[in-house]
Chains A and B, each alone.
Chain A
Amino acid sequence: MKQVYIPFLLLLLAIIPVRISYGSTALQVDNMPAENIHIHTDKDIYFAGDMIFFRLYLKTGEEERPAHSSRVAYLSVNSRNGQTLAKHEVLINNRKAYGGIMLADTLRTGIFSLSAWTSKMLIDGTPPFRKQIVAINRFDAGTAGFISENRPGPGILSPPAAQGMRTEFTPAENGTFAVTLYSAYEDMPYIKMEKRNGNIVLTTGRAVQDTEEREITIARGGTILWKGKITEKDEAATFKINPADLGYGPLTLKVTDDRGNSPIEACWLNLIPETPYVDIFTDKVTYGQRERVRLTFRIQEGRARGASASVSVVKTESLLHNRPDIIQSLLPIIDGCCDNASCNKFILQSAGFIAAELMPVANEIFPERQPEIMIVPELREPVISGRVTTTGDNEPVAGATVFLSAADTIVNLQYSKTRQDGSFYFQLNDYYRDKNSYVNLFMSEEEAGRYMITLREKFVPLPFTPKSLVPDKNIGNHIEEASTVRRVMQAYNIRPYIKTAARPEHEHYSVPFLYRVPTHRINTADYVPLDNMAEIANEILPDLRIRGRGDNISPVVICSRTRSYMPGPPLFFMNGVYVRSFADIADMSSEEIVSVEILSVPWSFGSLRLNGIVGLFDNKGRDGIPADRLRTEIETSPEKEGIAFRKIEYNGNRQDNPGMPDLRETLFWDPAAVVNDGTPEDIVFYTGDLKGSYTIMVEGVTADGSPFSNRIEISVN
């Protein structure tokens, strides 16, 4: 028995120290709930050079404690081989974020993946959110062919028989599929399932010689949710089932005879929740060009009153029928028979039935390829991390001091001591936004030669296997029309977005001062020109002396309190950035330097003790900083400014701006629709000049964390 207890003792020892050390600390990873992400994009089919408008939803499962959730999310657009084509770092505020990602206008026609994740998801091994988008380059030949090549092939339309049972997917008018289930025996009935007018329509048919009575059941687990009967006389029977009655999750359809045999048994997934939570209404169904559309919502009785939502109104053809909606992304799917590989799998989503193989797969783990650097959750600001290793054998260097400083007009510094594994971490607040920031080792030139810094790349390659596209039936015409639209918009220089100032959350941050007030501040222009730093120091800089000659040159600061030399050289900064070697700036003349700040007292900065600080400034910013082999520039991809959808309004007069074409495919995009006490504010937008069918899509999350999604169509004639 003793042997059995020892592991349990180990287990206790493993757990207890963590609880004791961090039990009372608010910020700790074991306190953080699991996270998941959904991205609502305005559409699915883009053109090279388009802006992807997105809204990010972060689901934590603990809606009341946003402080314990990630503050930073990463979005990337990847090609199928994983290459990152666009990257974006976005700050999450109250579990939401929105903005725009520009697709390069040189992008080749193809299927791409839009991925999103947080550091917490990486720590937990939660797969990133992924959806596939299509980018079309109008200069590529055969774009229509590209769509047809990527439509579902025979393998999906007629998948291999499972347990002798055969399934066929017949393309329907709206781009989804009618599913027909055939028994392994030819004299048995077959069942055809399709979605019509919001209902599942189930039609049975049977061979002439088959006259047996049979029961059809739809069940989840052991619970029968719907039951129908084919009597002896029926040659064909039709049943209508409300998918909401079946509830969200996996289902089993069975046809059983009197003897209990089941010639047909199929598993499928219902992605339609019990109620849509929000109903959408428009004042009309058909509109003219440049006409006002009033959109109203009604939140259903008995649901949580608070909600956060996003709304898009786009050309129906620019959406794929197999796009993941928010319910699919954020509602956990209960394990069921759909995980059984030998089972016939298909999915019912709001548009209709599709084969399971058409849905983007989210169950692939993020391929983090830098396991040697521990990932930490980003609860307040983005975190950058890296490793210091020896140049020869790549051994980790513990206890080294790494500096982070940004090119600026003030001397700024953060430092990090490397851990046992050589790793270091910095938190970047908004001070670093739009600044060139660098990490460097705080050590002498001679020592530094033996080491190297490697930064952890946040955007690693994310390869994916594209799924077949389920586009609208008019996709061919749409691509032609959209190509023309792009040409016209380019000619008139019309952009569907506007750049806005940084959002308010970026306005307040603390500056990482190394010191506030220097002992002396000297403007070199007030003095006669001097040839080098030695002359500048000895002639015009109080308290800085340059001793020695040639290679033995060494600077030293005289303490302004005791008037004695400090025991070591001061720290030099050029335009706010740490300069390791005085030799790199020794030859600078007073004409190259605008001003000099000297802090001539012994200075304590955290665990560092500095023998004075000298800050030099010129007008060249980052270009004025001398080269350093070890200095590594940080690459970040923060949103530089806000991107907002450009709304167009007409004053009820169709002749407004008659000379300016209005060829918007996205008529409206609001990533943060206002929902006051359960009543969303009415939305007003205007149709443009493009005729056709438009889909209004609302996605959101209630205050209690339930995702909801709904869509309706309007047409413009």
Chain B
Amino acid sequence: MTKYSQAILSLLIALSTCIVSGQQSGINSVINDLNEPVIYGEVLSHHFQAAGSQFFIDGWSEGNIYHENGGVSRNKMLQYNGYKDQLYWLNPSTADIVIVDKLLVSKFTLRMPLTHDTVTFKRIEPGTKNDYGPDGIFAQVLAEGEYSLYAMRKIENTGERNIVQNERRVTLPVLEPRPVYIIRCPGNLYHRLQRIRRQNFINLMPEIGNELRVALQERRNRVRSEEDLIEAVLIANQLKKDTI
């Protein structure tokens, strides 16, 4: 076989591979599209102005939405509004900000801008519908196990502030983060921690109360901060596991 005919043969093989690869890539693209769940919700049409941020993270973060039906929307631009307990999605097709239908969401993740850690929010229904609305609430997952710890990243109106805007004096509500910690105990029982105190925490787990008290004392954990609380829940889970 001459070099010329070898080259022709190689070209033919390359072309046929191109066609096959192209077709496969087309099929893969259709498969991905078919399995991409649709995100829907109301287009945000009015913006709430306040002093202080309404958002868990200012600006858009990349994250995933895990749908109730099992589908996953990956790498979306998301924002969590703690004042309204709403998840916003920046729709790249229309540039609209969409308030994602809460019933659509099982959980979502957000990538923290500085640390690049991923935080997860879950839709939970921790009490009666009167307490938390018909669709449940989004709460950040801090620890999960036999006992789980969630933080509702609530942003509350704590007062009013007058500012001058466009040469006009306007009164704006002052917003500040006021996280609420929720503990889920075995049997799907949710307890809201009124104040972060060691005794309050131990009272929620009477079946391992004594061991938990000793363990927390040994670690000098007074359960006064979010980090203490996370550690305490991890200890409680370990103790529960040991007793089983």
Contact = CB atoms under 8 A, between A and B. Distances in A.
Interface of A: 1, 3-4, 6-8, 10-11, 14-15, 17-18, 21-22, 25, 27-30, 123, 374-377, 379-380, 383, 414, 416, 419, 425-427, 510, 513-516, 559, 561-562, 601-609
A416 B34 CA distance: 9
Interface stretch (B13-21, B210-218, B219-227): B13-21
B25 to A, nearest CB: 5
B42 A604 contact: yes
A30 B41 CA distance: 35
A609 B39 contact: no
B27 A380 contact: no
B169 interface: no
A576 to B, nearest CB: 16
B91 interface: yes
Nearest to A375: B27
Nearest to A383: B34
B244 interface: no
Nearest to A376: B30
Given A516-B101, A604-B40, A604-B42, A7 B13 contact: yes
Contacts of B39: 604, 606
Interface stretch (B53-61, B92-100, B196-204): B92-100
A602 B24 contact: no
Nearest to B94: A609
B35 interface: yes
A376 B34 contact: yes
B197 to A, nearest CB: 40
A376 B23 CA distance: 10
B46 A561 contact: yes
A561 to B, nearest CB: 5
Nearest to B8: A7
Contact of A30 (B24, B30, B35, B45): B24
Interface string B25-57: 111101111110011111101100000000000
B69 interface: yes
B69 A22 contact: no
Given A30-B28, A601-B42, 12 more contacts: A3-B7, A10-B11, A22-B28, A27-B31, A29-B24, A123-B27, A374-B23, A376-B31, A510-B67, A603-B40, A606-B40, A607-B94
B102 to A, nearest CB: 9
Nearest to B39: A606
A436 B227 CA distance: 55
B34 A3 contact: no
B25 A18 contact: yes
Contact of B28 (A4, A11, A25): A25
A4 B3 contact: yes
B119 interface: no
Of the candidates B4, B23, B45, B68, the one having the most CB atoms from chain A within 10 angstroms of its own CB is: B45
Contacts of A608: 93
22 contacts: A8-B10, A11-B17, A14-B17, A14-B21, A25-B28, A28-B27, A30-B28, A374-B23, A375-B27, A376-B27, A376-B34, A383-B34, A414-B38, A427-B34, A510-B69, A513-B40, A601-B43, A604-B41, A605-B38, A605-B40, A606-B39, A606-B93
A380 B21 contact: no
B70 to A, nearest CB: 8
Contact of B93 (A11, A21, A607): A607
Of the candidates B7, B22, B30, B70, the one having the most CB atoms from chain A within 10 angstroms of its own CB is: B30
B103 interface: yes
Contact of B14 (A10, A25, A561): A10
Contacts of B101: 515-516
Nearest to A1: B3
Contacts, number: 136
A604 B43 contact: yes
9 nearest A-B residue pairs (beta carbon): A510-B69, A607-B93, A7-B10, A602-B43, A14-B18, A11-B14, A7-B11, A10-B14, A7-B14
B130 interface: no
B7 A4 contact: yes
Interface string B135-163: 00000000000000000000000000000
Contacts of A30: 24, 28
Contacts of B93: 606-608
A374 B14 contact: no
Contact of A27 (B13, B24, B32, B69): B32
B142 to A, nearest CB: 29
Contact of A18 (B24, B45, B67, B94): B24
Of the candidates B13, B40, B41, B94, the one having the most CB atoms from chain A within 10 angstroms of its own CB is: B40
B6 interface: yes
A199 to B, nearest CB: 48
Contacts of A123: 27
A607 B90 CA distance: 11
A562 B15 contact: no
Of the candidates B17, B28, B31, B39, the one having the most CB atoms from chain A within 10 angstroms of its own CB is: B31
A29 B39 CA distance: 25
Given A10-B18, A14-B18, A602-B45, A425 B30 contact: yes
A101 B70 CA distance: 33
B192 to A, nearest CB: 26
A11 B71 CA distance: 35
A609 B96 contact: yes
Nearest to A28: B28
Nearest to B22: A14
A426 to B, nearest CB: 8
A379 B18 CA distance: 25
Contact of A603 (B3, B10, B43): B43
A603 B8 CA distance: 56
A11 B103 CA distance: 48
Contact of A22 (B18, B25, B96): B25
Contacts of A383: 34
Nearest to A420: B26
A15 B31 contact: no
Contacts of A10: 11, 14-15, 18
B45 to A, nearest CB: 5
A379 B28 CA distance: 12
A223 to B, nearest CB: 34
A562 B45 contact: yes
Of the candidates B13, B17, B22, the one having the most CB atoms from chain A within 10 angstroms of its own CB is: B17
A604 B27 contact: no
Contacts of B28: 18, 21-22, 25, 27-30
Contacts of B24: 18, 28-30
Nearest to B34: A427
Contact of B17 (A15, A25, A27, A414): A15
B12 to A, nearest CB: 8
Contacts of B35: 27, 380, 427
B17 A602 contact: no
Contacts of B6: 4
A31 to B, nearest CB: 9
Of the candidates B23, B43, B71, the one having the most CB atoms from chain A within 10 angstroms of its own CB is: B43
Interface string B58-76: 0000000001111100000
Contacts of A25: 28, 32
A377 B43 contact: no
Contact of B91 (A18, A561, A601, A607): A607
A27 B32 CA distance: 7
Contacts of A601: 42-43, 45
Contacts of A379: 31
Contacts of B17: 11, 14-15
Contacts of A516: 101, 103-104
Contacts of B18: 10-11, 14
Contacts of B104: 516
A17 B43 contact: no
Contacts of B15: 10
Interface in B155-200: none
A561 B45 contact: yes
